């Protein structure tokens, strides 16, 4: 828990016990883990830590001073200068006092960093491409000339955390999608074709057709069912279907029962105005 105190620390090379980095933190254990695990950027400090890791070694941390939050900048600058006077080869990229955590006010935050290859708008594009499963992380990295760990850090919100990236509904085209919204709606409302015929018509598998009909895919689409039908339970017919049955003058009742997947008795009851009484015959269509 944060107690209002700031720790000035040193990272020490475990090979020769020489100080290589001065920093500040409010949580020393967490900060040391981040130094060792988050090595996406090509900085002097990261190259040094990678070299140690390749030798199965790790840097260790020493707490130099514990100070109040109001004076940590001054003390960090002091200790960086002191270590340089003592002949330590530090990997710090600045003279100290310029750290503001991972917030947007950091002077080296985001595209202001001298090691950043990306712009903010490119970060939004990367998240969008990944969320919509258009490309893999490796392919996205090749597109933007960065490594796969950088892409992973962005999409998992370890890098560029200052940007407010929402779950985006992409405007990009999903090239793997074979169906349009209209096609899926037609499959959902279909009363004539069986699932095998639908799969051949839309060039998709029978499994995909079944998942659409069973509401496992394209769940945001609504079926053509009126509120009056929903109150009465599971209806196979929509208002539009029943209106067609009432106004029909060409097809026999048996053909209409096959066409709409209901019994001949149901067709009789509709035509004889025993059910669906709220619908009225369309005189113009009946002529």
Q: How far apart are CA 265 and CA 256, in angstroms?
A: 11
Distance CA 186, CA 191 (A): 10
Q: Which of 13-17, 132-136, 274-278 has the lowest mean pLDDT?
A: 132-136
SS3 50: helix
Residue 75 and residue 106 share a domain: no
* Domain of residue 28, residue span: 5-85
Asked if residue 230 is part of any domain, the answer here is no
Question: What is the reported pLDDT for 97?
Answer: 61
Domain for residue 39, yes or no?
yes
Q: What is the pLDDT of residues 34-66, one digit of tens each?
A: 999 888 777 889 999 999 999 999 999 999 999
Same domain, 76 and 11: yes
Domain-located, residue 231: no
Contact of 75 with 4, CB cutoff 8 Å: no
- Asked if the structure places residue 222 within a domain, the reply is no
In a domain, 268, yes or no: yes
Determine the average pLDDT of the residues in 188-194: 78
CA–CA distance, 212 with 220 (Å, rounded to integer): 11
Clarify whether residues 56 and 14 are in a common domain.
yes
Residue 34 covered by a domain: yes
58, 81: one domain: yes
230 vs 245: CA distance, rounded Å: 19
Q: What is the CATH number of the domain that holds 35?
A: 3.40.1440.10
* Residues 149, 106 share a domain: yes
Residue 68 covered by a domain: yes
Query: Does any domain span residue 225?
Result: no
Count of beta carbons in the 10 Å neighbourhood of residue 47 = 12
Q: If you ran DSSP here, which 8-state letter would residue 173 be given? A: -
* Number of domains composing the chain: 4
User: What is the secondary structure of 77-121 as a DSSP string?
Assistant: HHHHHHHHHTT-----SSSSS--BTBSTTSTT-GGGSTT----HH
Could you tell me the pLDDT band of residue 231, with boundaries at 50, 70 and 90? very low
> Do residues 22 and 95 lie in contact, with contact meaning Cβ atoms separated by under 8 Å?
no
185 & 165 share domain: no
* CA distance to 108, 206, 244, 247, per residue, from 287 (Å): 77, 41, 14, 9
**Burial class, 132, CB count within 10 angstroms (exposed 0-12 / middle 13-18 / buried 19+):** middle
Indicate the pTM of the whole model.
0.39
């Amino acid at each position: 828990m944060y107690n209002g105190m700031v720790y000035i620390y040193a990272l020490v090379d475990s090979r020769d016990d020489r100080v290589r980095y001065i920093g500040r933190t409010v949580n020393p254990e967490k900060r040391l883990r981040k130094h060792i695990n988050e090595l996406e950027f090509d900085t002097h400090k990261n190259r040094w830590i990678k070299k140690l890791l390749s030798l199965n070694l790790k840097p260790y941390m020493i707490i130099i001073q514990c100070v109040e939050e109001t004076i940590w900048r001054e003390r960090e600058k002091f200790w960086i200068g002191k270590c340089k006077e003592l002949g330590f080869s530090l990997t710090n990229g600045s003279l100290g006092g310029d750290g503001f955590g991972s917030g947007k006010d950091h002077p080296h935050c985001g595209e202001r960093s001298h090691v950043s290859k990306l712009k903010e708008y490119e970060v939004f594009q990367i998240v969008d491409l990944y969320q919509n499963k258009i490309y893999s992380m490796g392919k996205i990295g090749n597109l933007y000339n960065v490594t796969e760990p950088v892409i992973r850090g962005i999409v998992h919100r370890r890098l560029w955390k200052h940007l407010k990236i929402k779950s985006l509904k992409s405007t990009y085209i999903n090239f793997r999608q074979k169906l349009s919204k209209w096609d899926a709606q037609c499959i959902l409302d279909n009363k004539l074709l069986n699932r095998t015929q639908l799969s051949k018509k839309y060039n998709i598998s029978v499994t995909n057709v079944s998942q659409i009909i069973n509401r496992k895919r394209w769940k945001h689409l609504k079926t053509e069912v009126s509120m009056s039908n929903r109150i009465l339970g599971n209806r196979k017919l929509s208002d539009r279907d029943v209106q067609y049955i009432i106004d029909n003058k060409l097809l026999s009742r048996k053909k209409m029962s096959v066409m709409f997947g209901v019994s001949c008795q149901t067709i009789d009851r509709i035509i004889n105005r025993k059910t669906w009484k709220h619908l009225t015959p369309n005189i113009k269509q009946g002529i």
